[in-house]
Structure 1
């Protein structure tokens, strides 16, 4: 059903601009012509690279009946996808705690349901392009920017890097734009002053908690409302702050999107029910709930009237300014240097609320962390390398869970950081 919907978009908007790049534009018809030149895919299609490359890879998968797998260019090795079942149209990758990305499997109907829900909830329109400042391979950017273009004909404006000067130059040729970003981007743009009189029809913030201080500061300075958006790779959009003034509670995640039911599990986690919930993980773990329209999030909270209130975030991944890290992958990269044989990587709260967490590592005494940092730079991006290092002589510490390590750090019983 995805390919027929693309054909409908193409029929309705063939000569209209689809991708703005600088001051030039590529039409929907031109995208179709480039797709026709691509060979038939006989295996899952990796979507990576530029906006156009990701869009063409997506359409190629739809055309040839192959699952589409968005992958960050910097991620290196392609994921193993053996055993993808019949009827799976899309695979999202989430950080795996064992160092291997986990696949989340979606049917065409589940994928489209999320995009349709976001377009309706946020009032996305053909005459208001999306600025592509967030990664188009992550669930947030893919569902709110790539799929609206292909399924609804809503164009996008490319942005090479989210630097203030580049972003402001990208929107100068548009009367109105939609800008989806993460809190750290909004803070940088606010501090730079580019939000003054910016043609932003809708400002979205997701991927990390939006601090009240930032939300209020942008409102006070520019009269621009930042709309907090909450979702998960496994089910797409969950809730949205559609109000027209700043929130008064940082834990307020907004109201469930139309068609999304939110209940609480026995242990106080959000249980999501919708037609956009994925079919399953490629590797299921005990206690997980995913499939048959239901997803149990790792986040704890409660419901107040029709709003979701977040009490505590869960899960073992590390959230660095809206980018999710699997700690097991960082551990594997550090061990591969040959400079350390035992290590535990975990997240610690950052003093910068937009950064959310910082990467920490527990290593044996005598580890040359300076050399380890230097060697790790050939395996990891700078933001992935631990900022905080602790040592322990107790073997039992290397068997602690990551939440237990965070608690031990909070109690001051981890060895001195160095």
Structure 2
């Protein structure tokens, strides 16, 4: 199904630019030629690296009938048996221990991309600026899949620094920019958004503050469109309005084909054709089956619009990047420097950063030694910013959400 879709894209856009990467411009036929040179894959494929590499890995999986797992870091994790019919996997942060995969059929993963392209009026005449990670669910569904299924080209960006971004969009009359709030804030502060050739500005991955949205509107006349989704079901809602929202927790209207209701606890229940089959390791308190997903987020409905009351779960959101505290705990324990540890997120003083990582520990070693010991395993943003070395005895019995509330003042 996905390979047939790609063949239609190739037939329609064969000689058109597909990926703008520095001085190199690859056409859709160039991608097809590169694919033909790849050997047949005999197992799951890790899609990682550059936009060109991720696109080719995706096409290779479609061609050879293998499941694709986009990854930010090298190395395919142990996946175990993959059920028949699973075409795509997403890695989600596991709150307790190792990350888990979410399983999708070809139809489910395509439905998400088709829904976004239609709702956002994406067009092959305007390229997507790839400032976000293409291996994360947001970037993959918003940029890689529209490229391969709808012929919407990509302009790569090596790093989202203001000078690099402006150099990238100068190559085009108009660009579409999916980004996260921390990027929008940095670009606004640098002054590059004034008179920028942005046809559509999208913000997702973390809550978009009303202050940032309004400031960019007032200073640059640019409307940021808030987009809400989850790895397990893809896009959920989108703010289509042409002026700033009046409520900071306004998540926009449900996307076409997405039904949103509330369960008894006030959490969003999502039903759509892009909801995943399930996790590779499900828990009794979760609801994820083909067609329906119960989010950890609580909210309410105001007519067609979704309003967020509180974000649930233990996942830590650092400027749009999701982090499972259990994995950080495992890495810290592996150093042999600590007796016990509990990792959790606390609200950042910077609303666009969202969370900061905190760790409750018992150790005889210095924090400097501990940080150095995990530097080769954890990315800089994953290493705790706040260390609690003299916790109260009762802290160890608290949930992560309770620890978050108790120690919220650490980041102020």
For the aligned pair, the TM-score class normalised by the smaller chain equals over 0.9
Distance in 2 (CA, whole Å) between partners of 1:329 and 1:116 is: 33
Distance in 2 (CA, whole Å) between partners of 1:275 and 1:204 is: 23
The one of 207, 210, 225 equivalent to 1:209 is 207
1:97 Cα offset (Å): 1.5
State the match for 1:9 in structure 2: 9
State the match for 2:26 in structure 1: 26
Distance in 2 (CA, whole Å) between partners of 1:100 and 1:400 is: 22
1:312 Cα offset (Å): 0.1
Partner of 1:259, secondary structure, is coil
Distance in 2 (CA, whole Å) between partners of 1:370 and 1:66 is: 44
Q: Give matches, 1:42-53, under 5 Å.
A: 42-53=42-53
1:381 Cα offset (Å): 1.3
1:373 Cα offset (Å): 1.6
The answer to whether the Cα contact below 8 Å between 2:278 and 2:288 also exists between their aligned partners in 1 is yes
After superposition, the C-alpha distances for 1:53-94 in whole angstroms (9 at most, x for unaligned) are 000000000000000000002xx5422211210000000000
The answer to whether the Cα contact below 8 Å between 1:41 and 1:60 also exists between their aligned partners in 2 is yes
Partner of 2:119, secondary structure, is helix
TM-score (norm 2): 0.97
Distance in 2 (CA, whole Å) between partners of 1:153 and 1:249 is: 35
State the match for 2:368 in structure 1: 370
Distance in 2 (CA, whole Å) between partners of 1:143 and 1:393 is: 42
State the match for 1:353 in structure 2: 351
1:366 Cα offset (Å): 4.2
Distance in 1 (CA, whole Å) between partners of 2:172 and 2:353 is: 30
Distance in 2 (CA, whole Å) between partners of 1:226 and 1:71 is: 28
Distance in 2 (CA, whole Å) between partners of 1:344 and 1:292 is: 34
Higher alpha-carbon deviation: 194-203 or 362-371? 362-371
Distance in 2 (CA, whole Å) between partners of 1:383 and 1:317 is: 14
Partner of 1:229, secondary structure, is strand
Distance in 2 (CA, whole Å) between partners of 1:82 and 1:242 is: 41
The answer to whether the Cα contact below 8 Å between 2:338 and 2:364 also exists between their aligned partners in 1 is no
Partner of 1:254, secondary structure, is strand
State the match for 1:281 in structure 2: 279
The ranges of structure 1 where at least 4 consecutive aligned residues each deviate by more than 6 angstroms after the TM superposition are: none
Q: Give matches, 1:316-355, under 5 Å.
A: 316-355=314-353
The answer to whether the Cα contact below 8 Å between 1:365 and 1:393 also exists between their aligned partners in 2 is no
Distance in 1 (CA, whole Å) between partners of 2:339 and 2:48 is: 33
1:295 Cα offset (Å): 0.2
1:316 Cα offset (Å): 0.7
Aligned length: 411
1:293 aligns with 2:295: no
The one of 116, 122, 125 equivalent to 1:124 is 122
The one of 267, 270, 273 equivalent to 1:269 is 267
After superposition, the C-alpha distances for 1:239-264 in whole angstroms (9 at most, x for unaligned) are 00000000111100000000000000
1:409 Cα offset (Å): 2.3
After superposition, the C-alpha distances for 1:296-352 in whole angstroms (9 at most, x for unaligned) are 000000001110000000111100000001111111111122211210000000000
State the match for 1:60 in structure 2: 60
Provide the aligned C-alpha RMSD in A: 1.4
Partner of 1:188, secondary structure, is helix
Partner of 2:359, secondary structure, is strand
Partner of 1:298, secondary structure, is strand
Distance in 2 (CA, whole Å) between partners of 1:45 and 1:216 is: 42
Unpaired runs of 5+ residues, structure 1, are: none
TM-score (norm 1): 0.96
Q: Give matches, 1:246-257, under 5 Å.
A: 246-257=244-255
Partner of 1:285, secondary structure, is coil
Distance in 2 (CA, whole Å) between partners of 1:292 and 1:158 is: 34
State the match for 2:132 in structure 1: 134
State the match for 1:312 in structure 2: 310
Partner of 1:303, secondary structure, is strand
1:99 Cα offset (Å): 2.9
Unpaired runs of 5+ residues, structure 2, are: none
State the match for 2:80 in structure 1: 82
Partner of 1:343, secondary structure, is strand
State the match for 1:383 in structure 2: 381
Q: Give matches, 1:198-237, under 5 Å.
A: 198-237=196-235
Partner of 2:200, secondary structure, is strand
The answer to whether the Cα contact below 8 Å between 1:204 and 1:227 also exists between their aligned partners in 2 is yes
Distance in 1 (CA, whole Å) between partners of 2:240 and 2:279 is: 31
